[in-house]
Structure formats: structure tokens, C-alpha cells
């Protein structure tokens, strides 16, 4: 009997964790059918927002990589010795 209760508690913990990580999925599952469309719209808006944030982060990474490459080139250019005749 104790094993059964322990298993139920473990399953409950898993369910709660999934709900905490993805509450929107729960909204879609338990919402009345007349509210599913607004929830889907909300989810799509959230997805688009996160994609925009990802785009901004990708652009920032790209800019930092360019700055790093330029700095490396400048350092290498300063290190080169020039032969004087």
C-alpha cells in the first residue's frame, strides 16, 4: 500500500512540474471550447514574442562575434614586424 501511495506522489509531482513548466498547455486542455480560440491566440502571441527575443539575442551574438574578430585582426596587425631595407 505504501508503494502505491509513493507512486501516486511521484506521478503527482511529475504532473505539477509539467503544469508549472507549461501552464498554457493546461489552459488548452481544461478550457471550455468557446475559450480555446482566445487561448490559442494568446499562445501564438507568446510564441511570436519569444521568437522576436531570440532574434534580438542572435543579432547581439553576431555583433559581438564581429567585434571579437575585428579586435583579433587589429592585434595581429600590430604584431607583424616590417622589414626595413
Q: What is the DSSP string of 64-80?
A: HHHHHHHHHHHHHHHH-
Mean pLDDT of all residues in 25-39: 80
| Per-residue pLDDT at 26 | 76
Delimit the domains of the chain by residue range: 1-30, 32-85
User: In sequence order, what are the residues at sequence separation of 6 or more whose Cβ sits closer than 8 angstroms to the Cβ of residue 27?
Assistant: 39
Please give the Cα distance from 40 to 47 (Å, whole number).
10
| Per-residue pLDDT at 65 | 96
The grid coordinates listed for 13 are: 509531482
Asked whether the predicted pLDDT for residue 81 surpasses 70, the reply is no
Mean pLDDT of all residues in 38-48: 88
pLDDT tens across 52-71, in order?
A: 999 999 999 999 999 999 99
Asked whether the predicted pLDDT for residue 28 surpasses 80, the reply is no
Amino acid at each position: 500500500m505504501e508503494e502505491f501511495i509513493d507512486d501516486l506522489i511521484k506521478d503527482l509531482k511529475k504532473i505539477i512540474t509539467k503544469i508549472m513548466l507549461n501552464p498554457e498547455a493546461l489552459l488548452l486542455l481544461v478550457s471550455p471550447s468557446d475559450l480555446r480560440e482566445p487561448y490559442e491566440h494568446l499562445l501564438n502571441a507568446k510564441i511570436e514574442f519569444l521568437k522576436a527575443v531570440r532574434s534580438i539575442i542572435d543579432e547581439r551574438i553576431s555583433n559581438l562575434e564581429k567585434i571579437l574578430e575585428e579586435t583579433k585582426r587589429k592585434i595581429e596587425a600590430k604584431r607583424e614586424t616590417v622589414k626595413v631595407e
